[in-house]
Structure 1
Amino acid sequence: MAVRSHKALPSNIDGWLSYIQTIHSRSIDLTLERVRRVAHCMKLAPAVPVMTVAGTNGKGSVVNLCQRVLSVHGLSVGSYTSPHLVHYNERICWNGQAVDNETLVDAFRAVETARKHIPLTYFEFGTLAAMHLFCQWQVEVILLEVGLGGRLDATNIWSADVSVITAIDHDHESWLGTTRRAIAREKAGILRYARPAVIGDPKPPTSLNDRVRQLRCQGLFIGVEFSGEVTPQGWDWHMPVASKGLSPRDISDLPKPTGWLEAHVRNAATALTALVQLEPITTISMKKVRQVLAQWSLPGRLQRVPGAVDQLFDVAHNPAAIRTLAQFLEKSPPSSKTHAVFALFGDKDLDQIIKILDSLIDHWYVGGLTGDRAVAPGVLAAAIGRIARGGISAHADPVMAYRAAIKDARPGERVVVFGSFQVVGAILPLVNGETRLPCGARAESPC
């Protein structure tokens, strides 16, 4: 597709976001050739440390925690994550602040000018825009969250100084494979020869171990070279084995944000272990780490909104994340009834998700999503009905499903919103904005 003339280009952020979805015929087309060619034309070759984070669950949390710790140490940090929760701008941040519309539009224009006839996917276009801004801002550290897999992800055209791989589980099997071994092999594509590889999966597939050895990476595996353990006072982080001249770490009683479970502590331990690999550019102060942890929150991750009807928002959308959600619900104060506002893309393991939560959900309010992977709400509701024992109702979209759940819920009951970023992102603005919920709830600091 030929580039449009400057006069024909969109003038605002909404126009650009619509336009970049039309450039390539597919929403996902895993290859590095296109994005590498455009990056070369744009001279996007960062000369600062790059940390790339892959994995099935926990990537966004690791990037967020790393960004906050580095920023509080006075470093200029650019972070790129996906997908966004409410606004696209959330994907590209400078010291935790989302890019403004005008700056983002300028970055999109720069990518459009450089790509000429090269058809980029939505994600590739955004990734180049992010790196363009990081170079423009002259950040001191770049944090990249892999979008899909790792080996052929657009973020992988830049070599990571520190590679991080969080927990690995079944997801995106059409692109990554149907076994943990195959999925891990794709994610291991971000590793670089002789550089640190921080592995936060407690049971890493052999394909990941093999790749670490083949590349002679400085492998740091959770449960071996480092650990994160929940304690009555909080959690402990241990890194008893020194690496590349760094001293061992043995830190006790770190603050544990409300609602954190073992999976969250593993992610935090993984983040801290990755951060100390950057110590040539700064010395990590545990006093500042404690300050960050004491105030840490991330919207849409087990985010509770208290009220007469308790509400919980979580972006969990694969079996591993759903197990963590189920564990959280089981540990939470009991409620007389649980209403689930739910939607799921067609490439997810619906049957397994329903089986994990079936005993905890009394009624499913199913909404429809948009996009080429969307499933009609009636079809999704019928599939859930073949397994679930609770009631089920289908609604046109997540917002209508949510409103139905809130209308039906009584004091002492709870509403749980989950299934995808799109579900949570569509509903959270209703809670956090001017709209007061029927139950009178207002959002508290998320956890």
Structure 2
Amino acid sequence: MPESTLPNAQSPLSVWLRYLKKLHTSVIALGLDRAAAVAYKGKLIKPASKVITVAGTNGKGSTCAIIEAILLQAGYSTGVYSSPHLIRYNERVRICGEELNDGRHTEAFAAIESLRGDISLSLFEFGTLAALWLFIDNNVDVVILEVGLGGRLDATNIVDHDVSVITSLAIDHVDWLGDNIEMIGFEKAGIFRANKPAVCGEPEPPASVAAHANDIGAQLYQVGYQFDYQKDGEVWHWQCSTFKFINLPIPHLPLPNAATALMVLNLSELNVTNECVVAGLSSVTLAGRMQFISKFPVVLLDVAHNPHSAAYLATQVAALKQKNSVKVHAIVAMLQDKNIAATLREMKAIVNVWYPASLSEPRAATASTLASHLSKGVMCYDSPTDAFYAAEAASNGMSDIIIVFGSFYTVGEITNFLSKRE
């Protein structure tokens, strides 16, 4: 793009995003040097007095949202950075629980553009730096960063953070993180910091997690050892060696992530009361994660896209199915680099009717590829929207369950379709 046509702070957000996508040679470019150089130049390394960084295969967004909800109840101003988004880029940054308008993002992009000089940045690196700039500009009390990919070499790892978190561990992104759980554990544990707390919510982590914590002198807090939780009917209890919560409300997000979030808050040295925890857990939601958007029929959106997350989704849907004795209709569209066979296998026991669909993304698997892992005679659809129309027409509107899963792209398309239809 010629110098005269470079976007500025007043340029539309869509213009900036097109520019940033062309700025770097590859979409994914792991490594800290580029982003760190710009961050140090712009004094972005410590964006708040308290910073929490959250890594993991699944559950990162939910854990961030739970921490955010409780801290907002406690009166703290918060900044959350997460990815990917479902519909709008603006979803990636929240200040005190709210998205920012386009103008604030373009202002931040212009600031980073002026800082970077001739340093080439990927879209994710640029967006991460812009988010840090926004947090500092808004003077938030606590920043919560969701790691994009892995941990050790992810752009979020340039930040000087106070508490590190691993939510869960499973094999995913094998092209970037390795094809065995020990390698993946090491990459995620790369966010740990010497002499600072590191929380692990994976019940059976690979040895590489504890080994890395020990090597660098991080203080590891492991679920089942330093903290634990129990579901007790319609409530749950949480405890560590110094504190406990009893009779907590069960949130709309996965309980293991809530338990991990409470340990993070316990170690953060922030002032959080029992009342704040109860209020936060009762109110927290996150788009695309166990998101119920209709009752007749029940429509459930979840971005589950690997075997680990699909297994959790299947458990939750099975409980709903058992209560209501209904049919489950599943719209699924996935990216081709995911473990399609194992992910669909986790869902087969609870799905009655399948609607495999193609996505317009270049990395997407075709509907016929998905169908090859299902029973013979399954009809294929050109898009999740087409599949959704078919599921609506075939379902019993008063009792059946329609679930949409497989990718952020899948859930994003249906979310966008439904919002426009309403």
TM-score, scaled to structure 1:
0.89
Q: In the alignment, what sits opposite 2:176?
A: 175
Task: Check conservation: 2:356, 2:371, Cα contact below 8 A.
Answer: no
Cα gap change, 1:307 to 1:162, in 2 (>3 Å): closer
Corresponding position of 2:318 = 330
Name the stretch that deviates more: 360-369 or 65-74. Answer: 360-369
Counterparts of 1:219-234 in structure 2, within 5 Å, are 219-234=220-235
* 1:82 alignment counterpart: 83
The aligned residue for residue 439 of structure 1 is none
SS at match of 1:117: coil
CA distance in 1, matches of 2:332, 2:232: 33
Secondary structure of the residue that 2:379 maps to in structure 1? strand
1:115-147 C-alpha deviation (Å, 9 max, x unpaired): 232221111110010001111111121110000
Deviations 1:287-331 (A, max 9, x none): 111111122222211112343322111111110000001111111
Deviations 1:245-284 (A, max 9, x none): xxx11211100135x6xxx2221111111112221xx321
Match of 1:444 in 2: none
Counterparts of residues 386-425 of structure 1 (less than 5 Å): 386-389=372-375, 391-411=377-397, 412-425=399-412
**Does 1:289 pair with 2:277?**
yes
CA–CA distance in structure 2, aligned partners of residues 233 and 339 of structure 1? 27
The answer as to 2:355 corresponding to 1:365 is yes
Correspondences of 1:18-417 after superposition (within 5 Å): 18-46=18-46, 48-240=49-241, 248-258=242-252, 264-279=254-269, 282-332=270-320, 333-375=323-365, 377=366, 381-389=367-375, 391-411=377-397, 412-417=399-404
Cα distance, 1:418–1:215 mapped onto 2, change above 3 Å: same
CA distance in 2, matches of 1:430, 1:228: 39
Q: Quick one: structure 1 residues 4 and 145, their matched pair in 2 at CA, closer, same or farther if it must change by over 3 Å? A: farther
Cα offset for 1:409? Answer: 2.4
Q: CA deviation at 1:399?
A: 1.9
Deviations 1:4-36 (A, max 9, x none): 536432721112122211111211011111111
| Contact 1:362 1:391 (8 Å CA) reproduced | no
DSSP-derived class of the 1:360 partner = coil
Q: Does 1:5 align with 2:20?
A: no
**More divergent stretch after superposition (386-395 vs 180-189):** 386-395
Amino acid corresponding to residue 317 of structure 2 in structure 1 = L
Residue 394 of structure 1: SS of its match in structure 2?
A: coil
Distance in 2 (alpha carbons) for counterparts of 1:293 and 1:216: 32
Contact residue 68 and residue 95 of structure 1 kept, 8 A: no
- Distance (whole Å) between structure 1 residues aligned to residue 20 and residue 207 of structure 2: 39
Looking at structure 2, the residues matched to 390 and 335 of structure 1 have their Cα atoms a distance apart, in angstroms, of 24
**Residues 29 and 121 in structure 1, CA contact (< 8 A), matched pair in contact too:** yes
Query: Against the structure 1 CA distance between its residues 72 and 413, is the aligned structure 2 distance closer, same or farther, given a 3 Å change threshold?
Result: closer
Asked whether the equivalents of residues 82 and 147 of structure 1 are also in contact (C-alpha less than 8 Å), the reply is yes
Give the partner amino acid of 2:155.
A
User: Mind listing any 5+ residue stretches in structure 1 that lack a counterpart?
Assistant: 241-247, 437-447
Q: Is the 8 A contact 1:195 1:218 kept in 2?
A: yes
8 Å Cα contact 1:361/1:390 also seen in 2: no
State the AA in 2 paired with 1:85.
L
SS at match of 1:20: helix
The amino acid that maps onto 1:257 is P
Q: Structure 2 vs 1, CA of residues 34 and 4 (structure 1 numbering), >3 Å: closer, same or farther? A: farther
Residues 228 and 268 of structure 1 are in contact (CA less than 8 Å); yes or no, is this contact kept in structure 2?
A: no
Instruction: Give me the whole-angstrom Cα distance separating, in 2, the residues matched to 1:255 and 1:22.
Output: 46
Amino acid of the structure 2 residue aligned with 1:316: A
In the alignment, is the contact (CA less than 8 A) between 1:313 and 1:417 conserved in 2?
yes
The answer as to whether partners of 1:160 and 1:191 remain within 8 angstroms in 2 is no
Alpha-carbon offset, residue 70 of structure 1? 1.5
Contact 2:327-2:352 at 8 Å conserved across structures: yes
User: What are the superposed Cα offsets for residues 328-367 of structure 1, whole Å, 9 maximum, x if unpaired?
Assistant: 1111134543221111111110010121112322332222
> Within 2, Cα distance between the matches of 1:237 and 1:311?
31
- AA paired with 2:260? T
Is the 2:71–2:276 contact (alpha carbons within 8 Å) kept by the matching residues of 1?
A: no
Which sits farther off after the overlay, 88-97 or 336-345? Answer: 336-345
Q: Is the 8 A contact 1:317 1:348 kept in 2?
A: yes
2:45 and 2:158 in contact (8 A); partners too = no
Aligned partners of 1:6 and 1:294: how far apart in 2? 51
2 CA distance for matches of 1:95 and 1:123? 22
Q: Any stretches of 5+ residues in structure 2 without a counterpart?
A: none
CA RMSD of aligned residues (A): 1.8
With over 3 angstroms needed to count, the CA separation of the structure-2 counterparts of 1:426 and 1:434, relative to structure 1, is: closer
Q: Identify the residue that residue 445 of structure 1 maps to in structure 2.
A: none
Indicate the SS of the match to 1:190. Answer: coil
Structure 1, 171-180 or 329-338: larger mean CA deviation: 329-338
For the structure 1 residues 142 and 308, does the alpha-carbon distance in structure 2 shift closer, same or farther, using more than 3 Å as the test?
Answer: closer
Q: Which residue of 1 aligns with 2:413?
A: 426
